[in-house]
Amino acid sequence: MKKLPLGIQSFREIINGNYVYVDKTQFVYDLINNAKYYFLSRPRRFGKSLLLDTIGEAFSGDKELFKGLRLYSSDYDFVKHPVLRLDMSRIANETPEILKASVASKLIRCADEENIGISDKIPSDIFGDLIESLYKKYRQSVVVLIDEYDKPILSHIDDIKIAEANRKVLRDFYGILKSMDPYLRLTFVTGVSKFTKTSIFSELNNLLDITLNKKYSNICGISAENLDEYFGQHIEYLAALDDFEPYGDLRGEILTWYDGYSWDGKTRVINPFSLLSFFSQERFANFWYASGTPKFLIDIIKKDPAVYTSLKNTKITELMLDTSGIEVIEPELMFFQTGYLTIKSLLPVKGAAVYQLDMPNFEVSEAFNLQIISAFTKKRQARVKEAQLGMDDALQRGDTQKILEILRSLFASIPYQLHIDLEAYYHSIFFAVMSVLGFNMDAEVSTSKGRVDAVLELDDKVYVMEFKYEGCAPDADHEVKRKLFDKALAGGMKQIQDRGYHKKYLGRGKEIILASFAFLGRDDIEMLIEFIN
């Protein structure tokens, strides 16, 4: 078996070290021959850096390095070109002044390595002089590769003042590339986010954005076909161990955990970091998620819990993707661009493309839901898992008291400063608990007479749920609370029955359970259920 290139982003090291390399060089050929300026957005740890390094090596003049790969057998001439690569994730960016100084320092080091003297001090001027000097030195056009272009912005997304100041620095810096057109062979920019061209690339407005281009949907990531071709021996090895199922079952489990990412609604790819980590550690775990979750995503949901329930099967237009700015960032966009949502399908509508989004796989949904519950309740994730298992059993048995006991325990652990007197808040926490159990739970389900708050479908049961919140003083006496509970529970049940929320589930051979939940506070929760056979 070939070695696993976990954490290796050098194409040359992978090839010379006899590591597994999933051949992406057909995309390199297309990129080189079809345009001059490119932009690609993909989540972290998805192979962007390796792609850039492969492009850089394609311009190194070393044809033999690609022997056995698609680029080698093509008509590409392998002419050597100077390559200038900038990894913005390694550039200090605490302030705009530090960002300028760090960029300038990096460029000057590149110039020194080429024995090119640079006298300018402004980053954009240094950049331009370096490109022109490389062109004159080698008498060949220059290849510019910029990795993680948006890191200096995303590092301060919760501090708009610094993020905006850094954006202006980057706009001026990247803008010099357009005037360098006579000296450039290829420019490729990658990042996580997709800010508008007027926001970051106001000058460099000739970038071809291939983020959602179906031709390049598989440019990063590993397809199911690649899994068999390149990792078949690794699957066979693990399938022979006592801890794993036979090949077929193991392959399916791998896809359940790590597959499901898509940028065209059809082509599905596996998260490469998670897959390599799985083979390396010989166990299923939340590898990608555990490698770093942006705090600002959790903060978004803390501020507006309704965002969480809207994430499942949310819709987004291509126009929305092209109008993202720093000042106002739609939550759905950030969850999509950072890899917590992916395109499940392209909807058949007229006009601009509309994409149906959802979480890509079990790894992301389980880990993200666990973190949401833990963030809201301040319970350790191990304790949350215990609660989830208990809830699973209670729902299967229709045990109202056990369900309430678990919910009360979870909500009672919510710190007062995080408590929000909104129905959507409780709805979101309950939705997170159910989702992490792997249930087919949908929020805000449309019916002919309105939207039901949530539907939880089990193998033999369907829970149709309404959530009601009544404001109540924590020290209110039992009689006051009882009246509020009765009012809320009756109101929720009446709404379900009057609007016939449950009727669309009749005739499926499943027991239908109407469930009205009433919340008065952190641990004041009641539940009323009615069974329909």
Strand partners, 144: 84, 187
Average of per-residue pLDDT across 302-309: 71
Q: Report which of residues 434 and 241 the model is more confident about.
A: 241
What is the predicted pLDDT for the residue at 134?
Answer: 98
What confidence tens digit (pLDDT) does each residue in 334-347 have?
Answer: 888 889 999 999 88
Q: Which residues contact 418 (CB under 8 A, 6 or more apart)?
A: 302, 376, 378
Residue 379 has a pLDDT of 64
For the whole prediction, is pTM greater than 0.75? Answer: yes
Q: Name the band, by pLDDT with cuts 50, 70 and 90, for residue 325.
A: low
205 — pLDDT class (breaks 50, 70, 90): confident
**Burial (0-12, 13-18, 19+ Cβ within 10 Å), 281:** exposed
Residue type present at position 338 = T
Closest C-alpha to 442, from 483, 501, 376, 367: 501
In 3D, which of 233, 226, 294 has the Cα closest to residue 255?
226
In the predicted model, what is the mean pLDDT of residues 279-292?
89
* Res 5 pLDDT > 90: yes
Residue 94 has pLDDT above 70, yes or no: yes
Which pLDDT score, from 0 to 100, does residue 201 have?
74
Percentage of the chain lying above the pLDDT 90 cut: 53
| End-to-end Cα separation, the chain, in angstroms | 56
Check whether 321 has a pLDDT greater than 80.
Answer: no
d(CA 462, CA 505): 8
Structure tokens at 5: 């290139």
Residue 442 predicted with pLDDT over 80: no
Say how many CA atoms lie within 13 Å of 392 toward its Cβ. 13
**pLDDT, tens only, 26-67:** 999 999 999 999 999 999 999 999 999 999 999 999 999 999
Q: Give dist(CA 168, CA 156) in Å, integer.
A: 14
DSSP letter, residue 2: P
What is the rounded distance in angstroms from the CA atom of residue 316 to the CA atom of residue 349?
Answer: 12
Q: What is the mean pLDDT of residues 6-13?
A: 96
Closest CA to 55 of 21, 78, 88: 78
Radius of gyration of the chain (CA): 27
How confident is the model over 457-475, as pLDDT tens digits?
Answer: 888 888 999 989 888 877 8
- Where do the structural domains in the chain lie, given as residue ranges? 11-216, 222-377, 393-532
Q: Which CATH architecture has domain 11-216?
A: 3-Layer(aba) Sandwich (3.40)
